[in-house]
Amino acid sequence: MKGRYYEAGQHPARTFDSWKPFGPESFSRYFSVAPVVKNRQLTVDKINVGDMITAKLLGWPENIKINSNYSYNTDKYGNAFGYDVTASQVGSQPIKGNLYVGDDLIVGENKSLTVNGDLYVKDDLTVKGNLTVKGKIYVGGYADLNGVLSTGADKYIYIAGNATLSDVSALNLNGVMYVNGSLTSSGDVNTNGSIYVRGDADVENFSNSSGTLILLCDGNIQLANNNLYKDRPKVIDAYLYSNRDLFIYGIGSNLKINGGIYGNTIGLSASRGWTENGLILKFQYPQPADPAKSRLTVNFKKDMILNPPKGIPTVNKVTLKEINTSVQ
pLDDT in tens, the chain (328 residues): 444 555 555 444 455 555 666 667 777 766 677 777 666 665 666 788 999 999 999 999 999 999 777 789 999 999 999 999 999 999 889 999 999 999 999 999 899 999 999 999 999 999 988 899 999 999 999 999 877 777 776 778 999 999 987 655 556 666 788 999 999 887 767 666 688 999 999 988 777 666 677 889 999 999 888 777 788 888 888 888 999 999 988 777 888 888 888 898 898 887 777 776 666 667 666 666 676 678 888 888 877 666 655 545 544 444 555 556 555 5
The answer to whether residue 96 sits within a structural domain is: no
Decide the pairing of beta strands 194-197 and 163-173. Answer: unpaired
Domain count, the chain: 2
The answer to whether residue 74 sits within a structural domain is: no
Residue-level pLDDT at 307: 60
- Write down the pTM of the prediction: 0.77
Identity (one letter) of the amino acid at 141?
A: G
Torsion of CA 165, 171, 176, 178, to 10 degrees: -10
Are 196 and 245 contained in the same domain? Answer: yes
The answer to whether residue 3 sits within a structural domain is: yes
Are 185 and 198 contained in the same domain? Answer: yes
Residue-level pLDDT at 308: 57
Residue-level pLDDT at 80: 96
The answer to whether residue 106 sits within a structural domain is: no
The answer to whether residue 81 sits within a structural domain is: no
**If residue 240 lies in a helix (H) or strand (E), which one and from where to where?**
strand 234-242
Are 294 and 164 contained in the same domain? Answer: yes
Range of the domain at 14: 1-39
Residues in the chain: 328
The answer to whether residue 201 sits within a structural domain is: yes
The answer to whether residue 143 sits within a structural domain is: yes
The answer to whether residue 64 sits within a structural domain is: no
Q: Supply the Cα-derived Rg of the chain in whole angstroms.
A: 24
Are 51 and 190 contained in the same domain? Answer: yes
